[in-house]
Structure 1
Amino acid sequence: MSTKDTPTPPQPIGRGPYDDEISLVDLWKVLARRKWWILSVTVAVFFLGTAYGVFHTPSYSYQTTIQLGQDSQGNRIDDPEVTVSFLNDVLIPGIWRDLLADADDVKLPEARARHTEGTEYVHLTTSAPLHRQESVEQLHSLTVRALRREHNLLIDDVRARLDDQRRTTELEHQAQLADLQNELEIIEERKVRATAQFELLEEERFLLEEQIEDLHPLRHQLDSAISDTDQQSAPLWTMMPMASITEMRFSAERRLRTQIPDQINEVQQRLTELENAAQRIQSEIEREQARHDMRVAALKRDEERIRETTARGSAYALASDTPDGPGRSLFAALSLVLGLLLGIFGAFFREFLANARAAEDA
């Protein structure tokens, strides 16, 4: 065998004056000797990665946004973090097990809940291929309905408390109106009696004035009859004492001038007081009605603030526009880089094994 045909054993890397020194030239020589190995590994990994990217079924992100309900004060019906824990630990696993028991497919998609900090929204997220969209929608819809049932129990309690407040307010209002109406009726009855008394006093005053007017000619006739002794009726007039006529006139005038006016003034004052009291009670009735209307309006606003937990949007499990993960071009680029790295690593490893065997043979 000639010297030309004798293979040259591989030279160890980094052999020289300093054993711990790495020579870039030696590294380049290794890469040059193992270039076909590096190329083969790179091409193999590139084609494998590209084929995986081409034939791999892409997964899409499905999301359902849940808006949490709120109570009559505008507060969340439940703490979002508690709701997320309840969904992830209790509700979603239970629904998933029920669906798995009824389905032939053992690869049902799963869902996870998360809360966006500072908002009232909880998001259900699932990653699945497009052909599983119906299963994802079923899972999300059942989850939302189950959560609505749980939260509606809390909302029903809030509405029941509002109904109790409304009934209590209505009963208190009716009782207050009944008391005021009773007082107003009593005052009206007193006004009727006072008015009747006033009319009687006015009638009495009119009669007294007529009586006094009738006593004046009677006295003149009596005086004429007493002075005219020739009249045949003189004995009849003399039978009526003058003192009786005077006393009747004095009594009538005293009643007319002093007692009747005082009693009329007293009745008029009483009527004025009763009228003022009636107006005061009527104003109180109007204020009570206004206060009641305000309380009812406030309760109505509280009821309008109540909002049930619901899914936002017109459909459950809205799919993302683009698939999750890297696309085909990214798969190809990553495969090329990974294949090159694996080829270089394999080249140096094969060089290491060749040097090790050469050292043993030496």
Structure 2
Amino acid sequence: MVEPPQGPSRPQYDDEISLVDLATTFLRRRRVFYVIFLVVSLVGVVYALFVPEKYEYVTLMKLAEKANGTYVEEPATIIAELDSLWVPDLQATYRAENSRNQPFKLTASNPKDTGLIRIVSEASPPLAELIEKNHRKLIERLSSEQEQALSRLRKSLEKQIASLDSTIKMLEEGENTGDAIASAVEKQLALESDLQSLSPFEALVVSRQSGENAGTSRSLIVVLSIMLGLMAGVFIAFLAEFIGLVRNQLAGE
């Protein structure tokens, strides 16, 4: 009787590990797991209890505005000056006076399609007074620059209006100047309207504290510490088993 051909036999490995072996190893080293899990979890809970809460402190400013919704200075230009000049100046001054870096950041932004400048700092309540002081310095500097730009624009408009007024008087003395006078008066009225439409710089909100904690929530820290404790406990339990096996093998030799 001819025996059916048999396929290649599957090699057997002595070092294959089954789920039963893993479970047995884990139970044997469960005390290591418990210790690591409890230590990591307790450290996370203690950290969550003592970590200081952080809040956002927001300052909001409205740029000086011309007619038709345009601005005396473009918001993008103001943001560039804040980021490149004014904020670094404040940081350098603090570093020179205290021999350390400023303990918070000053971040400037321009909400889309608006003439608003938003300055945000994130820190714990004990720094609120220092943050407000820095925000007010930026407000004063921006207010001064905006007032100067607005004053230049106002003087330019007033000069143009006065020039047109003189032109109109000269035209009134001539003949057949009706169309020219009408055009000059129309332009003068437009300039006067632009002058009346000028809106000054205004600080709307100064270093207002947010109502909610802006930092990592304590509950999230506790949950993450428990998860980290579980992973670290399992890993170190198997690592302890591996080290034990290596030691036994070396001792047997």
Separation in 1, partners of 2:150, 2:28: 77
What's the offset of the Cα at 1:25?
1.7
Give the alignment of 1:1-362 within 5 angstroms. Answer: 17-18=12-13, 21-72=16-67, 74-99=69-94, 101=96, 108-179=103-174, 284=178, 288=181, 294-313=186-205, 316-362=206-252
More helix as a share of residues: 1
How many residues of Structure 1 are paired with residues of Structure 2 in the alignment? Answer: 242
Kindly tell me: are residues 95 and 344 of structure 1, through their superposed partners in 2, closer, same or farther at Cα, counting changes over 3 Å?
same
Kindly tell me: are residues 27 and 309 of structure 1, through their superposed partners in 2, closer, same or farther at Cα, counting changes over 3 Å?
farther
Separation in 2, partners of 1:36, 1:80: 62
Kindly tell me: are residues 332 and 303 of structure 1, through their superposed partners in 2, closer, same or farther at Cα, counting changes over 3 Å?
same
**Over residues 72-127 of structure 1, what are the superposed CA-to-partner deviations in whole Å (9 max), with x where a residue is unaligned?**
45323334333222212210121233355567997553312123344333321111
Q: Unaligned 5+ residue runs, structure 1? A: 1-15, 181-279
Is the 1:88–1:113 Cα contact (8 Å) retained in structure 2? yes
Q: What one-letter code is carried by the residue in structure 1 that aligns with 2:155? A: A
Structure 1 residues 120-129 or 76-85, which shifts more?
76-85
Q: Unaligned 5+ residue runs, structure 2? A: 1-10
Rg: which structure is higher?
1
Is the 2:168–2:185 Cα contact (8 Å) retained in structure 1? no
SS in 2 for 1:312: strand
Kindly tell me: are residues 167 and 53 of structure 1, through their superposed partners in 2, closer, same or farther at Cα, counting changes over 3 Å?
same
Show the counterpart of 1:230.
none
What's the offset of the Cα at 1:19?
5.8
Aligned CA RMSD, in angstroms, stands at 2.9
Separation in 1, partners of 2:77, 2:31: 60
Separation in 1, partners of 2:59, 2:14: 64
SS in 2 for 1:76: coil
Is the 1:39–1:340 Cα contact (8 Å) retained in structure 2? no
What's the offset of the Cα at 1:356?
1.8
Q: Post-superposition, which runs of at least 4 consecutive aligned residues in structure 1 deviate over 6 A?
A: 103-106
What's the offset of the Cα at 1:53?
1.2
Separation in 2, partners of 1:19, 1:324: 55
Separation in 1, partners of 2:14, 2:65: 75
What's the offset of the Cα at 1:22?
4.2
SS in 2 for 1:317: strand
Kindly tell me: are residues 23 and 80 of structure 1, through their superposed partners in 2, closer, same or farther at Cα, counting changes over 3 Å?
farther
Q: What one-letter code is carried by the residue in structure 2 that aligns with 1:57? A: P
Is the 2:55–2:212 Cα contact (8 Å) retained in structure 1? yes
Separation in 1, partners of 2:201, 2:20: 70
Is the 1:108–1:135 Cα contact (8 Å) retained in structure 2? no
What's the offset of the Cα at 1:20?
6.9
Kindly tell me: are residues 90 and 21 of structure 1, through their superposed partners in 2, closer, same or farther at Cα, counting changes over 3 Å?
farther
TM-score (norm 1): 0.59
Kindly tell me: are residues 46 and 70 of structure 1, through their superposed partners in 2, closer, same or farther at Cα, counting changes over 3 Å?
same
SS in 1 for 2:73: coil
What's the offset of the Cα at 1:142?
0.8
Kindly tell me: are residues 81 and 18 of structure 1, through their superposed partners in 2, closer, same or farther at Cα, counting changes over 3 Å?
farther
More strand as a share of residues: 2
